[in-house]
Amino acid sequence: MDARVKKLLNEQINKEFYSAYLYLDFSNYFENKGLDGFANWYKIQAMEERDHAMLFYQYLHNNDEKVTLDAIAKPDVVLDSDMTVLKAGLKHEKYVTSLINDIYAAAYEVKDFRAMQFLDWFVKEQGEEETNANDLISKMELFGSDSKGLYMLNSELGARVYSAPSLVL
């Protein structure tokens, strides 16, 4: 495996664990506000990100590459309003998309088709993640200032259940 591709894949493990940590912080924010549906939504996001990290981990091991685990940074987003949290989520998803694109570009440059095929799932996933984050912001803008609307949105988000990714390595 190309050294740069391997380095970026390895770094992505840490970035995905950071994402999980960030979303757990978001979940904690909403738990403290009594919005258990929002907390549930972000708790599930945290689980997804953890599993994404493990997919990168397993991919590297499946290709006989050494995995190096680094410290996970503390989330540094100031959570001062519900909308701040939601917008920080969208900003973070766009950042993760840029990271996936960078890895894909590096793999493309060296014709690492196996890595590109592995990353195809993440490219699609990031499109869904950005759409979900945008939709959540739109719903909050529409209904968040109305207590009944916020209650219904919170209930909708509380109904979300976790399903592990079905990516074959």
User: In the numeric block, which tokens belong to residue 137?
Assistant: 């912001």
pLDDT digits (tens, 9 = 90+) for 7-66: 999 999 999 999 999 999 999 999 999 999 999 999 999 999 999 999 999 999 999 999
CA–CA distance, 116 with 118 (Å, rounded to integer): 5
Taking each helix axis from N to C end, the angle separating 113-143 and 147-158, rounded to the nearest 10 degrees, works out to: 150
Q: Provide the pLDDT for residue 168.
A: 59
In the chain, % of residues over pLDDT 70: 98
pTM for the full model? 0.94
Q: How far is CA 150 from CA 27, 33, 40, in A?
A: 16, 13, 15
Q: How far is CA 75 from CA 7, 15, 112, 121, in A?
A: 23, 11, 33, 26
Span 105-120, average pLDDT = 98
- Is the separation of the CB atoms in 75 and 25 below 8 Å? yes
Alpha helices in the chain (DSSP H): 3-33, 36-62, 82-109, 113-143, 147-158
Q: Provide the pLDDT for residue 167.
A: 64
The amino acid present at 2, given as its one-letter code, is D
Handedness of CA 71, 77, 83, 87 (dihedral sign): negative
User: In the numeric block, which tokens belong to residue 1?
Assistant: 């495996």
Q: Per CATH, the architecture of 3-158 is what?
A: Up-down Bundle (1.20)
Helix or strand or coil: residue 41?
helix
Q: Provide the pLDDT for residue 163.
A: 86
Residue 109 has pLDDT above 90, yes or no: yes
